[in-house]
Amino acid sequence: QVQLVESGGGLVQAGGSLRLSCAASGSIFSINTMGWYRQAPGKQRELVATITSGGSTNYEDPVKGRFTISRDNAKNTVYLQMNSLKPEDTAVYYCNVNFRDYKWSPIQTHWGQGTQVTVSS
């Protein structure tokens, strides 16, 4: 079993910052790509950013230049630093982890429980 524990969401004014964290624990041999997704009310879940095990990052256009994804491999943790927040960033943010639970196992994906980010205007 793998558990993902997210933290760091909350209410912030437009222009403010928040830092999300997602710590993975349990039966993990290795972690490949880690990422953050978000889902606003009435909308589909969408990709925000990803980071590979080697540290290569990818960002969707709406957050480029404002959000930074990073990871601590020793702690199996992924972070999302969100600056210059806008009301349209309001959503439930989910972390996603692709991992192997033993050396030759297929890659599995697991989702965090979600953390609410609300940006007021």
Distances in whole angstroms, Cα of residue 8 to Cα of each of 21, 44, 82, 101, 102? 6, 22, 11, 27, 30
Report, as an integer, the average pLDDT of 4-16: 97
- The pLDDT tens digits for 21-38 are 999 999 999 999 999 999
pLDDT value at residue 43: 97
- pLDDT at position 31 is 96
Q: Would you put residue 114 in left (φ > 0), alpha (ψ -120 to 50) or beta?
A: left
Report pLDDT digits (tens) over 42-87.
999 999 999 999 999 999 999 999 999 999 999 999 999 999 999 9
Q: What is the pLDDT of residue 1?
A: 86
